[in-house]
């Protein structure tokens, strides 16, 4: 695999300028109709014009709850790779790498060479992409002004509070006790036109947040837990924190869920080491950790939109999108 040579596509359908790559792409598909005695397949294509910027801008990532397990681990990984830090473990010296990153550690077949041999390049070489070493990190911490005292489970979506964009804003301005900090950050991101990804299974992406995102054309993503079945599922401190009723409230579905905290038992959380196993169930999908996925397993999409939640289909879809920009 060649990792240093720049990639240029010589095709009448591709045009390069100093600022953009222009692609005239034909998306081919087949329409299948069924009669009583046969299936009729009719090929067709759609013409698309795709423009890709050749200038890579800066990407900022605001991590809500930067001091938590996920935020600190993510930041440590970026800094370790950026500064090429190494550390000693019980298994020897560990050097930083981007193994597990689909853009940094995977390859795509370009074609064959004059000898008939397959030629591969790193995915990040196909198009101008942000180098994760260049990510700019920041944080914002928000706290509710008062802590709700819940003695009975409440539904995840409360009518007049979470159900519409207008209602959720009114509830926020009234400092309603059922507007969580993560929902505040989601609303702020949407109003700023920034994508919002909820990295933890919380009741954040409620109906009013989705409506607001649709109105402003902003992408949001998140997961709502249907059930959590494991011991020490969320790590040592996370599990301990969530054993407190007020902390658990942020992740509480509209039915009974039990989280049991187990002190540290020396498990190793890395692939392929499998000294622990957890299984969580999400709407329309089930996930086991360690698990593989290139995109959210149960993404937020418009009603009745087909969702691809098979690993290899997801990877093929990403490859095809990148190829379309160069075809």
Q: Do residues 139 and 108 make contact, with C-beta atoms less than 8 angstroms apart?
A: no
Considering the domain architecture, whether residues 75 and 92 belong to the same structural domain is answered as yes
Judgement on whether residues 278 and 246 belong to the same structural domain of the protein: yes
Looking at the fold, whether 36 and 78 belong to one and the same domain comes out as no
Answer with the one of 139, 165, 189 that is the final residue of a domain. Answer: 139
Decide: 321 and 327 in contact? Cβ < 8 Å.
Answer: no
80 and 35 co-located in one domain: no
DSSP string, 31-57: EEEE-SS-EEEEEEEEEEEEEEESS--
Contact yes or no for 201/221 (Cβ under 8 A): no
Positions in the chain short of pLDDT 50? 142-155, 231-235, 264-291
Tell whether 261 is covered by a domain: yes
Contact 149, 138 (CB under 8 A): no
pLDDT at 65: 72
Q: State how beta strands 92-94 and 87-89 pair.
A: antiparallel
Question: Can you tell me the distance from the alpha carbon of 82 to that of 135, in angstroms, rounded to the nearest whole number?
Answer: 10
- Which residues are within 8 A (CB) of 124 and not within 5 positions of it... i.e. 6 or more apart? 103, 104, 131
Same domain membership, residue 70 and residue 130: yes
pLDDT digits (tens, 9 = 90+) for 37-46: 999 999 999 9
For residues 299 and 287, give the distance between their C-alpha atoms in angstroms, rounded to a whole number: 13
Domain-embedded: residue 37: yes
In a domain, 269, yes or no: yes
Shared domain for 100 and 130, answered yes or no, is yes
In a domain, residue 191? The reply is no
Q: Does 78 share its domain with 120? A: yes
Spatial distance between the Cα atoms of 324 and 302, rounded to a whole number of angstroms: 24
pLDDT score recorded for residue 141: 55
Both 47 and 78 in a single domain? Answer: no
In terms of domains, do 70 and 120 share one? yes
Q: What's the pLDDT score for residue 180?
A: 83
Is 156 domain-assigned?
no
Residue 221 lies in a domain: no
DSSP output for 105-132: H-EEEEEE-TTS-EEEEEGGGTS----G
What three-state secondary structure class fits 95?
coil
Instruction: State whether 67 and 49 are in the same domain.
Output: no
Separation of alpha carbons 190 and 104, rounded Å: 29
pLDDT tens-digit profile of 126-167?
Answer: 999 999 999 988 876 544 444 444 433 444 578 899 999 999
Does residue 250 fall inside a structural domain?
yes
pLDDT of residue 249: 63
Residue 85 lies inside a defined structural domain of this protein: yes
* Domain of 249, in residue numbers: 226-284
How many separate domains does the chain show? 3
Question: What are 322's two structure tokens?
Answer: 């990148």
């Amino acid at each position: 695999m060649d990792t240093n040579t720049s990639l240029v596509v010589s095709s009448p359908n591709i045009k390069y300028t100093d600022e953009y790559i222009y692609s005239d792409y034909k998306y081919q598909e087949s329409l299948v109709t069924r009669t009583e005695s046969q299936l009729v397949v009719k090929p067709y294509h759609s013409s698309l014009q795709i423009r890709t910027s050749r200038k890579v801008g800066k990407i900022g990532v605001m991590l809500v709850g930067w001091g938590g397990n996920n935020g600190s681990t993510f930041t440590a990984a970026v800094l370790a790779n950026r500064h090429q830090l190494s550390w000693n473990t019980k298994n020897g010296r560990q050097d930083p790498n981007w193994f597990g990153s689909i853009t940094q550690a995977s390859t795509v077949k370009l074609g064959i060479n004059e000898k008939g041999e397959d030629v591969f390049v790193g995915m990040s070489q196909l198009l101008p992409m942000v180098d994760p070493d260049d990510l700019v990190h920041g944080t914002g911490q928000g706290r509710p002004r008062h802590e709700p005292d819940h003695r009975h489970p409440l539904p995840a979506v409360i009518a007049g509070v979470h159900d519409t964009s207008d209602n959720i804003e009114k509830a926020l301005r009234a400092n309603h006790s059922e507007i969580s900090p993560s929902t505040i950050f989601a609303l702020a991101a949407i109003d700023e036109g920034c994508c919002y990804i909820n990295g933890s299974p919380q009741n954040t992406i409620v109906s009013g947040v989705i409506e607001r995102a649709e109105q402003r054309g902003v992408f949001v993503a998140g997961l709502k837990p249907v059930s959590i079945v494991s011991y020490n599922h969320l790590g040592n401190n996370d599990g301990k924190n969530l054993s407190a009723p007020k902390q658990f409230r942020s992740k509480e579905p509209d039915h009974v869920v039990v989280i049991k905290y187990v002190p540290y038992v020396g498990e190793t959380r890395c692939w392929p080491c499998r000294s622990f196993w957890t299984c969580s169930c999400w709407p329309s999908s089930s996930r086991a950790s360690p698990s593989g996925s290139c995109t959210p397993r149960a993404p937020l999409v418009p009603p009745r939109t087909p969702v691809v939640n098979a690993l290899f289909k997801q990877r093929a879809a990403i490859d095809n999108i990148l190829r379309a920009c160069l075809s």
